[in-house]
Structure 1
Amino acid sequence: MRIWDIQPHFLCRKHLLGEHRELHALWNILTQGKKGYQNHPETCRWKEKLRALYNRHEQLVQELKARGYQHKSPLNSELATGQDFQDEYIDSIEVQKQILKDKDCPCLLFD
């Protein structure tokens, strides 16, 4: 499970769609008390930051639409509480960029 901290326009199709899918799974864990991945580091860093997670989802949706995708899975904005920005990282932005560069995918170059 990974929610990137990199602007969505840098992500290739695979990573953009994958993050969107995982964000929905994470949202359900946090808002519905689902047990799966409840103690995963990615889940833990978003606890009490549902507004930030909601904002990330909106960024992903904007990029999905810019690429011609239809989006039909909105999040409930009433559940978007807590801190409105993410200030905890599992990997720094630079490490995240390197992880993407090392993958065999067409993610855009960052430098």
Structure 2
Amino acid sequence: MKKLIRERYHQYNGIYGYSQIQLFMMHVHGVLANHKKVLRLMQEMGLQSRTHRKWRKTYASSAGSRVAENLLQRNFKAGRPNQKWVTDVTQYRVLDTWLYLSEIKDLYNCQRQLNPH
């Protein structure tokens, strides 16, 4: 089993972790093994998957960052149009490119009335 684990690990350049290797062994080779056993064997052999962070933490208080003043103070109601506007930026990764979507809302149009009935 160790030989099979080592072969799969090196075949995929160390990207697969114990759970993926366990699934690969079961589906391709028909070897039934608990994922904990595969983890233990990989630890014994010193094999560990190469991981990367999906999300990068950013801190508003870090040096060089700009923080906008909180003008709304959580008061999201507007009495007339064009009085309070808010925006949000969302980023999407498409292949090797980042796309940015910026949404702008007028808080006057976004108010919800609760219906007591």
TM-score (norm 1): 0.22
Larger Rg: 2
Relative CO higher for 1 or 2, CA cutoff 8 Å, sep ≥ 6?
A: 1
Structure in which a larger fraction of residues adopt helix: 1
TM-score (norm 2): 0.21
